[in-house]
A and B are shown apart, each in its own frame.
Chain A
Amino acid sequence: MQAVGVTRSRAGLLAGISLLAVVFTVALTFATVELPRTLGNWLANYFPDIHPMIEPERVAEFMVTARPVGYACLGIIAVLIVVGLLTGKRTLSILGSFAFFLPTFGYFFASMFFLAGLGILRVPFIPFWDPNVNLMNLGDISYLPYMALIYPFWLGGIDIREVLAWIAIGAGLLIFALGTIAWFYGRAQKRKTVDFWIYKYTRHPQYLGFTIWSYGVMLFAAQQPVVRGGANPGASLPWLLTSLVVICIALAEESRMRKEDSERYSRYTASAPFMLHIPKFVSTAITFPMRLALKKDRPETGKELLATFAVYATLLILLSLPFVLLDWPQGIGWSGWPGYLPGTL
């Protein structure tokens, strides 16, 4: 009888936790898209829209102030990330990477001037947002999974672009919520290593959740229609670099856990994947540059983490270069790709 009671209470706990995670997910998915719009309308009172073609002198005047602010913000963000990685102070890196991703929400506010309303958040992107060359596209390799997923549907006359962004946002938040709940439960039980529930399927559910959620936000940003004559360069570079920082933070945590709970944690890493389960040959190929640079299997010190970040950032930017050189997708960019559905024109 007692065993049945325990099973029931455990099932009830799991059901309660699942419900909590679903409510959290639905609420935050809604907030992810709606809050920026509300906030944008309020900020428009302070940063009004300016038509760059009608009042170019006002834009130029605004940019005189905004440009140095943008460079300073980017500098501070870079310092936070680098110092956080080097010193192992996770909070600094997380703060820096989130601050680097936050401007992506500026895309959710349609305006003629890219810094109007909520667009003012994009001030740190100014160094990348040059009218002659768009460095924001130097992360466009990130769109490969998006392209691979939507293109077959598009050929079949189905447009899943927006749906995919919603799914990514929702799935990311759900994974994040399940990870957070499991982590708190593990802490309450005074476990050194949390290895149950969602932690059986990924060693870093919160970081995985954040990465998938931010990918959805990045897709939404890229899909935002632009006013005619304007352009939407997307936010692939900030997402790419933010995700790399998050992965480096996860690697730093693993290094610490190996020191603190060596045996149990090693057993755990053998049973659960780092982020997602991927075939061995793929993970070997992905980790090859790191092993080549570090001459070891994983980074352990701050310097090694920084080197790992630099190597992968460089490689991924290099892989994105063809998108920039070919100015692809042409026309209005990712917000219009792959174009009208076959058969609708």
Chain B
Amino acid sequence: MSKRRLAGILGSCITVIVAIVVIATLVPGCGEGDQNSAFHIDVIPETPQNIDGVDIFKLAIPEQCFVFLVTITDEGEEVELPVTVSAEAPGAEVIIYHAAILEGEVAEVVVVPTQASVGQIIEVTITGTRGNVTDEKVCRFEVAEGEDDRQEYAEELLDRFVSWLATNHSELGITQNTAWNGTTVSPIWLVVSHYLFFSEEWELHLEWHVMVPPHDWAKIDLRHRFDELAPSYAFEISSVDANSEPVAIEVPETVWR
């Protein structure tokens, strides 16, 4: 075979492959052209809630992580360019996880009020931006006096659920080595206590009934962070004191805040 013929064959092949790559790159991107497509953002929880004409604010205590879930809805065709979520909350620290979201994804805006904010209303302005288009939501919650006195027992209960999940629901990817960060939630609720734990993948809401056996139940529900807005699994220990095995229960329709 002459060098010229080989060059001809290789040249043709390379041209075809380059064309294939270009087509493969461009065609799925045809709908992505508009960087300024309209969208709106949604935030949960809604706070304050207007009940009978009265604004009811959710409460948090200093150092508690108040976690807002942010989603977007494209107003035209679904767009493959993400919306970047940002937030401001004077008087509190703000951390954002998974700030660039597409429709169907979830960003988490974590607002941590300081001790100095006790008695005040924290105003959180959450903004979504894509190209020149922005949308904004404002939420407010109240900071109450208090401290987290539930962590130790919550972690004890968490261990019981986690060791059971690691054995019985390995498909969730939760193991004994999974790291969890906890925060109190609903600090004024007394008979039923609540706590939130976050692993890299999961939000775990733990609640337990502060009651004598056999009414000392504990429950968890699990939300897959960043692509779920509501829990997808829930389990219950009917009596903590009686060492009951966890069982699957009906999954709550909304996250707890």
Contact = CB atoms under 8 A, between A and B. Distances in A.
A341 interface: no
A324 interface: yes
B17 A135 contact: no
Given A135-B21, A307-B9, A228 B227 contact: yes
A317 B25 contact: no
Q: Which of B1, B13, B29, B227 has the most CB of A within 10 A?
A: B1
Contacts of B253: none
Contacts of A53: 97-98, 225-226
A267 to B, nearest CB: 27
Contact of A325 (B16, B27, B227): B27
A321 B6 contact: no
A111 to B, nearest CB: 10
A317 B105 CA distance: 33
A54 B225 CA distance: 10
Contacts of A19: none
Contacts, number: 76
Nearest to A320: B20
A321 B20 CA distance: 7
Nearest to A310: B13
A138 interface: yes
Contacts of B133: none
A303 interface: yes
B20 A110 contact: no
A229 interface: yes
B46 interface: no
A132 B97 CA distance: 22
B199 to A, nearest CB: 10
Interface in B1-48: 1, 3, 5-6, 9-10, 12-14, 16-17, 20-21, 23-25, 27-29
Interface in A308-336: 310-311, 313-314, 317-318, 321, 324-325, 327
Q: Which of A51, A228, A317, A325 has the most CB of B within 10 A?
A: A228
Interface string B206-231: 00000000000000000011110000
A283 to B, nearest CB: 22
A303 B6 CA distance: 7
A311 B226 contact: no
A324 B24 contact: yes
B9 A311 contact: yes
A317 B98 contact: no
B10 A306 contact: yes
A301 interface: yes
Nearest to B200: A51
A94 B28 CA distance: 35
A304 B20 contact: no
Q: How large is the interface on A (under 10, 10 to 19, 20 to 34, 35 or more residues)?
A: 20 to 34
A132 B23 contact: no
A228 B201 contact: yes
A304 B23 contact: no
Contact of A321 (B5, B23, B105): B23
Contacts of B171: 225
Interface string A288-307: 00000110000001011011
A306 B3 CA distance: 12
A304 B10 contact: no
Contacts of B76: none
B53 interface: no
A133 interface: yes
A38 B28 CA distance: 38
A310 B20 contact: no
A132 B10 CA distance: 27
Contacts of B227: 228-229
B10 A138 contact: no
B225 to A, nearest CB: 8
A333 to B, nearest CB: 14
Given A314-B13, A314-B17, A325 B200 contact: no
Contacts of B10: 306-307, 310
A324 B21 CA distance: 10
A306 B225 CA distance: 49
Given A51-B200, A54-B97, A310 B9 contact: yes
Contacts of B25: 130, 132-133
B79 to A, nearest CB: 14
B215 to A, nearest CB: 35
A317 B17 contact: yes
Nearest to B199: A51
A314 B13 CA distance: 6
Nearest to A309: B13
B24 A112 contact: no
A301 B2 CA distance: 11
Contacts of B27: 325
Sort A-B residue pairs by CB-CB distance and give the 6 closest, nearest first.
A53-B98, A310-B13, A314-B13, A307-B9, A51-B200, A133-B25
17 contacts: A53-B98, A53-B225, A112-B200, A133-B21, A133-B28, A135-B24, A228-B227, A229-B226, A303-B1, A307-B5, A307-B6, A307-B9, A310-B13, A311-B9, A313-B17, A325-B27, A325-B28
